[in-house]
Chains A and B, each alone.
With several copies, the nearest count.
Chain A
C-alpha cells in the first residue's frame, strides 16, 4: 500500500488530503503513482507538479515501494 498526499490546490481539486493505493507492478515509480492518481481523480491538474517520496524531493522516475509516502505537490509558494 502506498500513501499519497495532496497539497494546496491539489487537495482542493481532489477534495482530499490523502489517498491509499496499491501498485501491483514490480519496479514502480512516481510516474506509475501519478497515472493511478489520474485514473482515480477525474480532472487531476496537468500543470507543473513536484514530487517527494518519504519527505525527500523526487521526480517521475524515482522508485516507489510498498509502505512509501508519496507527495504530489503544486509549485511551492512560501516566503
Chain B
C-alpha cells in the first residue's frame, strides 16, 4: 500500500498520498496533484457507472515506466500515481497523480504531462454504463 505506483480496486486518500510524497524531502516547496473523478454525464449521455479493464502486468509496468520518465524529464523531487480499476459511480475518485518539486512551475508541467502520457501509454480501457446499455470509451485523438 505504500508503493509510489499502484493499480487497485479500493479507493485512495489524497491526504495520505501527499503525506507520503512529502515525506521524501524537506526541499519540497510545491506539490501539484491531479485527481480524475467519475462524471455523471459524458458527451450527451447519462452515466450510471464506469468500469476499467486493465492488461494486468503490462499496465503496472507501464505506470512504473511513466513515473520513471516523469522523474527523468522534469526537475521534480518525487511522483506518486494511483489508478483504480473497479466499477465506480459518478463522483468517485478514479486516478491520482501527485508531483513534488522545489518550485511550482516544474510540478505543474510534470503533473500535466504525466496524466496526458498515462492516457497514451497505459493499457487501461474505460467502459461507460448508461441507462441504454454499456459502451467502451473511444478516446479522442
Chain A residues with CB under 8 Å of chain B are: 5, 7-9, 11-12, 50, 52, 55-57, 71, 73-79
List the A residue with the shortest CB-CB distance to B52: A78
Interface SS of chain B: helix, strand, loop or mixed? Answer: mixed
The size bracket of the interface on B is 20 to 34
Do residues B136 and A8 form an inter-chain contact, with CB atoms below 8 A? yes
With A7-B53, A76-B123, A76-B124 in contact, do A55 and B136 touch (Cβ < 8 Å)? no
Do residues B138 and A77 form an inter-chain contact, with CB atoms below 8 A? yes
Residue from A9, A57, A74, A76 whose CB has the most chain B CB atoms within 10 Å: A76
**Residue from B57, B124, B136, B138 in contact with A78 in the complex, judged by beta carbons closer than 8 Å:** B124
Do residues A78 and B55 form an inter-chain contact, with CB atoms below 8 A? no
